[in-house]
Amino acid sequence: MIDRIWHAIEGFLRRSPQVNLLMKRMGIDTVKYWLLVALFGALSDRRELPGHLGRTDMSLQKSSWMFYFLSALMALFFVLAGMSPTTYLAVFLVLSGFLLFTTLLSEANNSLVNPVEGVVLAHQPIDGATYTSAKLTHILRILLYLVPALNLIPAFAGLLLKGAPWYYPLLHLTAAFGEGIVLALACCALFGWLIRFVPPARLKAVGFAAEMSSWLLYLLSQFVPQMHMKFRLPHWLPTGTGPLIAIACALAALAAAMIVLGLRSLSGDYLARVSAIAQGGSGKKFRARRFQLGALVCSGPSARAGFDYVWCMMTRDWQFRRQMISLIPIAAMVFIAARQGLRISPFSGKFTAAHVFPHALGFAFFMICANMPYGLDRKGAWVFLLAPMGALRGLARGVYARLLTLILAPQLVLLPVLAWQWGIRDAALFLAYSAAVSALYLSLELRLVEGVPFTRQEQASGNPYMLMILLVGGLAVGIAVALQYFLIFRSPQAVLAVTVALSIAAWLATRSALQTFEVSIRFHLGLVSNESKGIYTEVNS
């Protein structure tokens, strides 16, 4: 439905002489502009663009249906609560603004800072204004999906509020679409400023930091009430309606100027820098470290190579780091909850954040293992064909050893803190239990890493069983947390016995998972070897 509306709007604008004349006055080549819009649409339909833009027919539609359902539930709750129309509108505008800003910032970063197709088009006679205008048009397509999903049902449900005017749905949707367009332009202008002042080779790393700014703002908003009470910010503002309107107009004019100048910076010499941007690094350059953790943990050169390889790719692969942004809000919420909950021992008989801690780590590494097979440097998989087949077993063990050290590191960091809060016995028992649970999770999640890590192209269609895995896994985690609270943490002896049993189960599951992982690596490298042989074709006369 949305695709039909989009094509209808696109056809109307293409045939409108007034629109084409306006675009020419803005320095946009209309012929090349519509060709680029059609190109980006074809790449999106073929699922060759990453992010929501490359999976419009699946992930964006699924996200829209989920937002339709959640917004309907929220609207029903607010209507039954008797909320005023002004507060009702403000709540949905703030909610949709945060979600749109997070999504559009991610898509603008992925589209403008990692322009894979731009490398191919850089040698074509296309000016920056035409190319970036086509990019922005394609990014605005997201608004046609997410804005109605977040506001359509609440807009009509607002008619049930006491005191709501008859034109409330029109007011609500107009405000929501206006907010979405402003946020889209602001996100693109932000990267215009970055492209203007940041060197192209460092733009990916800076863009990654900018993409996390939405969650940073969310974390800072938690301290707004405290700052309001401490600094008394309203007392700094002038009294009277006139000065407040003047300040609001000045801020709006300043924001508009920043957006316009940012968009001009984006369209200026974008294609001249696109090659350096696409080939730029995603983090700091690798430096040799004197202390080699792999030599301490792993035995054998192949295991140490796998140990260091995974860590280097985790820190430098730009696409993997973007996928891990979703763990930031989860980690923030866990930290906020643990700030109070970890002060109480789980042996006290009360339900605390400590009961969820091992399973939160398991979920985080589920996300990591699900994204580890894919990387931007997948063409370099042929390097592993040069290694002897006997080294692949050590490679698999080195990869697992690195993941195990990452999942055990939080336990060691928390040991002195929890020992101070709970006592040495309770802290040691809990962290031993948490380590056993985490190791069991890791042994099961290692099976998600198919082939050599970071050597496969990301599948735009996604895993059809991922939703089922999440639902079943969530149910299992709920049962496990309930067992912990009602049975296991009632006595230290029960925790010790369950820890020993889980450790044995994790050891057996890890042996089987390592064998499966090694076979998966051999099979994937066999496919890579066959693909390389297919380059040459024998010609018989």
The secondary structure of 261-311 as a DSSP string is: HHHHHHHHSHHHHHHHHHTS-SSPPP---SS-HHHHH--SHHHHHHHHHHH
Is 283 within a domain? no
In this predicted structure, what is the pLDDT of residue 541?
Answer: 44
What does the pLDDT read at residue 439? Answer: 92
Cβ proximity of 310 and 320 under 8 Å: no
Task: Specify the higher pLDDT residue, 266 or 441.
Answer: 441
What's the pLDDT tens digit per position in 101-160?
A: 888 887 777 777 666 666 566 566 676 677 777 777 777 777 888 889 899 999 999 998
374 in helix, strand or coil?
A: strand
Is 540 part of any domain?
no
Q: Indicate if 384 and 518 belong to the same structural domain.
A: yes
Residue 89 CA, distance from chain mean position: 28
Query: Is 288 a member of any domain?
Result: no
Q: Would 286 be classed as within a structural domain? A: no
* Residues 410 and 335 both lie in one domain: yes
More confident of the two residues 251 and 504: 504
Which of 229, 247, 278 is where one domain is finished? 278
* Percent of the chain whose predicted confidence (pLDDT) is above 70: 73
Q: What's residue 229's pLDDT?
A: 62
User: Does residue 425 form part of some domain?
Assistant: yes
pLDDT of 54: 43
Helix, strand, coil shares of the chain as percentages rounded to 5? 80, 0, 20
Q: Are residues 21 and 155 in the same domain?
A: yes
Mean pLDDT, rounded, of the chain: 78
pLDDT of amino acid 53: 45
Same domain, 73 and 184: yes
Looking at this protein, which amino acid is placed at residue 499?
T
Query: Within a 10 A sphere around the Cβ of 298, how many other Cβ atoms?
Result: 23
Domain that residue 314 falls in: 294-533
Distance, CA of 276 to CA of 200 (rounded, Å): 6
Q: Predicted confidence band at 290 (pLDDT cuts at 50, 70, 90)? A: very low
pLDDT at res. 45 = 60
What is the percent of the chain with per-residue pLDDT over 90, rounded to a whole number? 14
Residues 368 and 421 in one domain: yes
pLDDT of 332 strictly over 80: no
Q: Which residues in 489-511 are b (16+ Cβ under 10 Å) and which e? A: beeeeebeebbeebbeebeebbe
Using the predicted structure, report yes or no on whether residue 509 has a pLDDT greater than 90.
Answer: yes
332: burial class by Cβ within 10 Å (0-12, 13-18, 19+)?
A: middle
Q: Rounded to whole angstroms, how far apart are CA atoms 312 and 314?
A: 6
Is the residue at 95 inside a domain?
yes
Residue 289 is assigned to a structural domain of this protein: no
Is 285 contained in some domain?
Answer: no
Same domain? For 348 and 398 the reply is yes
- Full-prediction pTM beyond 0.75? no
Rounded to whole angstroms, how far apart are CA atoms 15 and 526? 52
87 C-beta neighbours (distance < 10 Å), count: 11
Instruction: For residue range 63-84, list pLDDT tens digits in order.
Output: 788 888 889 999 999 988 888 9
Q: Choose among 263, 252, 271, 6: nearest CA to 126.
A: 271
d(CA 257, CA 311): 42
| Rounded Cα–Cα distance for residues 456 and 458 (Å) | 6
> Does residue 195 sit in the same domain as residue 255?
yes
DSSP 29-85: -HHHHHHHHHHHHHHHHTT-S-SGGGGIIIIIHHHHHHHHHHHHHHHHHHHHTT--H
- How many structural domains does the chain have? 2
Same domain, 306 and 412: yes
For residues 390 and 362, state if they share a domain.
yes
CB atoms within 10 A of CB 359: 21
Do residues 241 and 332 share a domain?
Answer: no
